[in-house]
Homo-oligomer: A and B are copies of this chain.
Amino acid sequence: MRAETGAPQGPLALICGGGSLPLAVADSVAARGREVVLFPLHGAAKPADFAARPSRWLHVGEFGKFVRLARAAGCRDVVLIGSLARPALWQIRPDWRTLRLMPRIIAAFRGGDDHLLSGIARLMEEHGFRLVGAHEVAPQILTPASTLGRVAPLPRDRDDIALGLDFLRASAAFDVGQAVVVAERRVLAVEAAEGTDEMLARVAHMRASGRVRVPAGCGVMVKAPKQGQDRRFDLPAIGPQTVEGAARAGLAGIALAAGETLLAEPARLVAVADRAGIFVVGVAAGPLS
């Protein structure tokens, strides 16, 4: 927030994975008058999304190319944003700089996502860049501590939200997923490597098949960051398609850790939620991390 006043910051390097969040951040940073240099990632970002914008495409592993192009563009601050399926080592196209760093990258690959991402963050900083959180350059995408649309959670939804937060708190140390679906005080689904959309599809399927018997319009998806998650990237995010998935899963709504989760396209997201009649609420997650 301080960032918008004071010293000149120069252009912002935005390394873009998949989903709608990267361009939402790009537009919101640009709207604040800061130049944005786009670095979409092959295999993650959709070419069509970037066709109309000057972009410097990177393969995963082209760290040397990034360093060169970002320096040439005068960028010091870097934001990593958007989804990225964990690549296989053989999919990485290392350039010379990456090759020299390979032993450390391989070490970072062992263990969960956090391990990998914090390794990347350290490499960035050692090369003179400053890794910045998307919410620092585009604070309006942070979830506020309030009900976002026309629909508000009922007391029974608040019970489910509380149980969901308890569960995420208990399992937060494990570098697992960041979301859970609770209905009638019962945990129906836990997100791990499959991702949020897939978990919501599972809940829809379990309801349709009769495996889970919960009245329609009952149940909440709760999402919060993992323990020790580096807030400079990979804050959990939802977008309009998440709201659509929650509606298809027959849920009453979505609860997000306020100030610790991101909203891609907040206006459209709220419009989708209002139309589906489900709530989206930011809640204080407590000492989750």
- Could you say which of B91, B111, B112, B189 contacts A193, with CB atoms under 8 Å apart? B189
Q: Which of A176-201 contact B (CB under 8 A)?
A: 176-177, 181, 184-195, 198
Tell me if A145 counts as interface (CB < 8 A to partner B).
no
List the B residue with the shortest CB-CB distance to A184: B110
Please tell me which stretch of A5-13, A32-40, A61-69, A167-175 contacts chain B, meaning at least 4 of its Cβ atoms lie within 8 angstroms of it. Answer: A167-175
Copies of this protein chain in the complex = 2
A173 to B169 Cα, complex, angstroms: 12
Interface size on A, residues (CB 8 A): 39
Contact A211 B194 (CB under 8 A): yes
Contact B211 A85 (CB under 8 A): yes
Chain B residues contacting A171 (CB-CB under 8 Å) are: 167, 170-171, 190
Q: Indicate whether A87 sits within 8 Å of B213 (C-beta atoms), given known contacts A110-B184, A174-B167, A176-B167.
A: yes
- Could you say which of B112, B190, B192, B202 contacts A176, with CB atoms under 8 Å apart? B190
Interface centre among A166, A186, A202, A212 (most CB of B within 10 A): A186
Tell me if A275 counts as interface (CB < 8 A to partner B).
no
A288 to B198 Cα, complex, angstroms: 29
List the B residue with the shortest CB-CB distance to A112: B186
Q: Indicate whether A187 sits within 8 Å of B194 (C-beta atoms), given known contacts A88-B213, A212-B86.
A: no
Interface centre among A85, A110, A192, A206 (most CB of B within 10 A): A192
Contact B174 A187 (CB under 8 A): yes
Contact B188 A206 (CB under 8 A): no
Contact B170 A86 (CB under 8 A): no
A213 to B206 Cα, complex, angstroms: 26
Tell me if A155 counts as interface (CB < 8 A to partner B).
no
Residues of chain A having any CB pair with chain B under 8 Å: 85-88, 91, 110-113, 163, 166-167, 170-171, 173-177, 181, 184-195, 198, 202, 206, 210-213
* 3 A-B pairs with the lowest CB-CB distances in the bound complex, closest first: A190-B190, A88-B213, A188-B193
27 of the cross-chain contacts (CB-CB < 8 Å) are A85-B210, A85-B213, A87-B213, A88-B213, A91-B213, A110-B185, A111-B185, A111-B186, A112-B185, A112-B186, A170-B174, A171-B190, A174-B187, A175-B187, A176-B187, A186-B193, A187-B192, A187-B193, A188-B192, A188-B193, A189-B193, A189-B194, A190-B191, A193-B212, A194-B202, A194-B206, A198-B202
